[in-house]
Structure 1
């Protein structure tokens, strides 16, 4: 059985935030979520997360996730350190398990690396294995000192390292694999008799070596994966790396991204082949984009489903569905719960909210469609307003198939326009428009001759 223990109890003081450090987001998801996802992807069957400062916020966010949370005590008299954090999870370590130690602030770690670490640990029958990295500048990191056979002899912190040891470029990432029983035994033996008065996970390695057990070292292929987030600057750096990963993933799978450096796609967004993404586009949340779509500059799509062959230009779409071969924009806004059919046109400065528009309907410019059910083949003219709110309540409007709503008309809900109903331009409709009827609701035009001269405007 593979178990992960994810240490997420740090204060994150350098973030200067009321939010728990591990809840700060990278490409739309908390940094801790990436670590959990990578751990599960590598086959861990139980994930134990040790929380401390801001722990209640973390638990609340992941309340629907089958994670085991353990609280690390907080207080001036409480000893800290990675070893102390591991002690909080000892009750969930099974004797016959393989335990992977991870950190909640390293979202760039991948399931591939964790899986390789586990396999290396098991295949070589190590009792402990350290994930290491080779750095050109290892300053600040604990150095890996190996035996002639290649196993780890010891881990030396920089402040304790001899001059020759400081030249070693292989460093300790702080990520480990342990035999479950031996880890429990060693945790019961470590102490905090040091300058910091803290318990260290590295002491577990020293105890196992002293007792004659083999400790291996697996060198990570890309050291960027162990990059931790301790400040807003590091958060921005991590965001850049993650965004690049996500964009490259989509390009490898057949999506054209014109300018990846100026395109924001959150983790989990799905995009079909031969879709083209222009600069300035933001795709967020649980968004799904079909094949052969064109998403042009400065469009933002959140939690929406966009079917095949859709064209979107400089528009915002939230929590909505757009059918095949539909054109949106420029400067349109689909607000939540809009369901747009096939071959529909939502044009310049059209706003749709909580409405359904069936296939082949057109609202080409400057209209507001709110709380409406609009049928097939409907034409909605320029300046049409679906008047859905009386100051206290909202009401729905129904427009039947093949209806025609003339420019600058107001449909005052609740009201029905039956199929093939025609509304004359400039009308304010408050009553039902029967099928096949033309409805005109505007004052009769009256011309007053000579009005300009009487008012003295014309000389």
Structure 2
């Protein structure tokens, strides 16, 4: 159910200059989603009445991403007045008539989770505070704003590092940069905040000071896990936060019954789905909504992007993108499976095989050293080593159709468009340019021609010519001896 007393404002207007990137900071990805996507996903679990995202830098790019990530969210444009206070003030203009609580989040804090946010809002409401700050207790508070509490335990003030005295610098409780406000508190105090500070910005934290001046209550809610407050300002922090998110994701699946042999080398996106009794071997990446059924073994050294893996399947040292693998199918090692591939139950894509936009039927095998493109293969087919479906004629892609129970010889080339009928056979080295009827044997055999003495004549002085001459002389001597015996 929608919480009609809660609105969420996500701040995503910053340029993120320390990222040194043409991509807006909030669109850098960890765990398969942009940073801001993780924040929006966590907030959505609370079912707020409204979600608003404030944007400015690369406005159109960020707005398009927001529309894709959270279609229910509204985009708010920040004007030329900088600062978090101004961002929230502009978002508040779109909440006319709303009289509940406003949860303000940062778009670059991707580790915040729904449980933490729910507890945060509940603590704010239980305290009956005008403002509640999310805080954390850290071992090293250097660089953070310190939380100074009064005798009753409420927040007396927030002291920035540069303004703190020795006693205040010793405080380990810091401001995490996430807040819950009563909407009326924001409407009352935001217009009074100026930009008379070193950064010439309108600071959201100034609202807390104004509330205290008028005798209102400013509460603080301390998070149990400080990592949920971690933000991203540069590439180093991006990788650190990505590692923490991945460790959390891997652990969650382990607790759900998935065996992960080496969590340190296993990367799993947040939208991947794994069934109990899946085994993930080292150096494996499971990405982009990949789904793996129970009993499957993935890895080692495997990357799956947007794939669906059936029960009991095995994929070893392979790379696959947007492909479907049936139950008890086997793939690899060293297979390259491209989009549009479907491998049937108990099917096989073997060693050094590339498959693209093709359907391989139940029990069918493409064992090794093959390229299969734009092809439909029936049931219980076996293609010999070195099979190639030549799908491109320099202008257009064409399909190859191979029926059920077809067995091909080694080193066959199927020149599309071509159809091989059910139960047909093809000989080794065949180049198949015409349709093969059901049950037929297709051969393309030219008579073998041996040109005697060619090496000695055309490659004189080489090692090959020398040994060939010796062999020919020995053969003549042997033939002469046999003739005398007769």
TM-score with structure 1 length normalisation?
0.96
Say whether the 8 Å CA contact 1:135–1:169 is kept in structure 2.
Answer: yes
CA distance in 1, matches of 2:311, 2:357: 22
**Whole-angstrom CA distance in 1 between matches of 2:321 and 2:392:** 21
Deviations 1:304-338 (A, max 9, x none): 10111011110111111000001100111111100
Q: Does 1:131 align with 2:140?
A: no
Which residue does 2:41 correspond to in 1? 37
1:233 matched to which residue of 2? 236
Does residue 56 of the first structure (1) align with residue 60 of the second (2)? yes
Other structure's SS at 2:192 match: coil
Name the residue aligned to 1:18: 22
Structure-2 residue corresponding to 1:91: 93
Unaligned runs of 5+ in 1: none
Residue 78 of structure 2 corresponds to residue 72 of structure 1: yes
Distance 1:454 1:5 in 2: 85
How far apart, in 1, do the equivalents of 2:298 and 2:169 lie?
A: 52
Asked if 1:378 is matched to 2:384, the reply is: no
Give the match for residue 225 of structure 2.
Answer: 222
Q: After TM superposition, give the deviation of residue 55 of structure 1 in Å.
A: 1.9
Cα distance in structure 2, aligned partners of 1:383 and 1:130: 65
Which deviates more, 78-87 or 296-305?
78-87
Of Structure 1 and Structure 2, which has the larger fraction of its residues in helix? 2
Extract unaligned runs of 5+ from structure 2: 470-486
Kept in 2: contact 1:87–1:187 (CA 8 A): yes
Aligned counterparts of 1:197 and 1:220: Cα–Cα separation in 2? 31
Report if the CA contact (8 A) 2:32-2:271 is conserved.
no
Question: What pairs with 1:3-402 in structure 2 (closer than 5 Å)?
Answer: 3-64=7-68, 65-73=71-79, 78-93=80-95, 94-402=97-405
How many residues align structurally? 455
- Please give the per-residue CA displacement for 1:198-249, whole angstroms capped at 9, x wherever unaligned: 2111111111122222221100111111111111111111111111111111
Q: Distance in 2 between matches of 1:419 and 1:293?
A: 31
CA RMSD of aligned residues (A): 1.6
Aligned counterparts of 1:312 and 1:137: Cα–Cα separation in 2: 45
Deviation of 1:157 after TM superposition, in Å, equals 2.2
Q: Quick one: distance in 1 between partners of 2:109 and 2:210?
A: 26
Contact 1:117/1:131 (<8 A) preserved: yes
Residue aligning to 1:426: 429
Report how far residue 450 of structure 1 moved.
Answer: 6.1
SS in 2 for 1:63: helix
Cα 1:372/1:202, change in 2 over 3 Å: same
* C-alpha distance after superposition, 1:409-432 (max 9, x if no partner): 111111111101111111111111
Q: Conserved in 1, the CA contact under 8 Å of 2:146 and 2:161?
A: yes
- Distance of 2:17 and 2:421 partners within structure 1: 63
Q: After TM superposition, give the deviation of residue 448 of structure 1 in Å.
A: 4.8
TM-score by length of 2: 0.91
Q: Which has the larger radius of gyration?
A: 2
* Contact kept? 1:342, 1:359, Cα under 8 Å: yes
How far does residue 454 in structure 1 lie from its aligned partner after superposition?
6.5
3-state SS, counterpart of residue 54 of structure 2: strand
Kindly indicate whether the alpha-carbon contact (under 8 Å) linking 2:35 and 2:109 is maintained by their aligned counterparts in 1: yes
